[in-house]
Structure 1
């Protein structure tokens, strides 16, 4: 890898690729850095039957159509291959199998400490990349969130995380799925034909809009933003609770025999205790309790002390040259969808370009004021 670059994009998922295409259109000097061996691998590692909760019509990035009917729900391999093909189609420069250990500033520029994925921190293979600007495109969901009382469960219970679970033949029943959001519902739906399944957690409701409909997409894309009162109220409502389930209906879960249970609140004698006081005895427990953010590798004073998320306006931070992609409601509701990240990427790259131009003009002005 080269030692210096104008823009370093950390993450080569959909957010990083969207930024990469925008930079490519401006003939920028940039590189995308990702810890995976292939573009799209972050999707390939999930359960075998995983399908997007959004249809193909809103699952494509600008410039390359998704190779599926607009109302079809792509599987994980279809999306992973699409992202890899996208990087190839636009010849985006990707450095893969590279892990970012630290981001800091030295003498007004960003220094990014790197090493091969899986190597020991501080090993002899570590190297550094210097950049004028950095776009952090790793999203905001990084570490699995598992309650502390998981350690108190009986060792005979087979505990898996949502990242560990791949297929029904991997487990024995009855299976308790803890967490009833989109991932938990998909796992319960996958398990139900083969096992007795209990789904624990509040029902967040279902998203009723068909976003494959161009009219409804345009309404959501334009209306549900902080720029208008309706959008602000909608976003505030969504942020107060678990995002609604998309695609798999409550009726479908009932038909498949999935049993709804209250939230798991602790343990008793090694078994899960529900919020209503009842104890359940599963053979397998799948934790689908979400993720937390981890930006500890970014050694810059840009994070909120309470949320741990960067302080920003549409991904633009108070630190000159530092940007983020894939944050919750980065600009609007559709920022959470693959098609929606293009707007956020375009805004960031436009700001970056204006910032670069302003610096160049300042440099020229300084030189003219101080002739040799």
Structure 2
């Protein structure tokens, strides 16, 4: 008798040792990052400084991140992503400790706060590119890994500000910065315990930093689906994603109070977690097309805000918007991590982050003056219309629409 057919092989387990360590590192890092805005606001405003100082501190972080993230991608390719992420955590740890002690003892001078915020942004720029390239090297199922991490990040994004608010209420802003420093230490320890096989030396570049930046740009331009999405996304960041956060905060706070805004942000985080869970279950053949269709949930959120809908409807819009954006992010991250060669992935991710963040920053900066000139509701309605056009543009470009799942 012929031998019975072999049962299909079980897929490799996602929760291997490296992924468990990386999961903890990312979860505590996002938790700590979520504490920083609350800690800065409480510490600076409590010391009698104007609200603009909080914006300057956070804006300095963003500017440093955007300026140095491209170099972070090149350095991660040269010295390995894991080493650069550990170094970035260790560089940010002393700054968090200094802020913790300074705010616990009183009010640090503003120049010190701004300088430490800049250094923290530089550290984040060294850290971020390695996230994208590490996932495909430690996870047998890249989409599932991205989805699991997205769910954890959404939950930690909600938990971080809440924990910071509690620490500030019980002690002071220094306590929040102290916990933020502990998260850097835990992240560095987890990353140090990971064991990842090195990339073959013949695939590593050893050119100058400038030459490697140029080489990364050539790799970026060689993939039409990649630069096509980024080009479209710059418009999205400038006109939709950038203005959405500050305008939502101002409109909801003025109409319904700060407590309602906090609840809506928590609902948005819950939606993000659900979007990640959906990405765990759904495996579309063309991930970018599926992610683009999901983005149609965001204009619903913007339209409800512009119409002045009651809080329950606004909560529904925030939930749908959070789920839509999280699903898109998982599809996008998975596409990049599976279609871009490992040796170029750090730089590709750096170009992606730099382009997106810069335009979002410009959008946030211009949102106030534009809203003052034409009206907040009009800006939100325009953003909703542009968001629909962006989805149409993503689906109209054939290399984006037809990119297969690997």
**TM, length-normalised to structure 1:** 0.26
**TM, length-normalised to structure 2:** 0.24
Structure with the higher fraction of residues in helix conformation: 2
Question: Relative contact order, CA 8 A, sep 6+: which one is greater?
Answer: 2
Q: Which has the larger radius of gyration?
A: 1
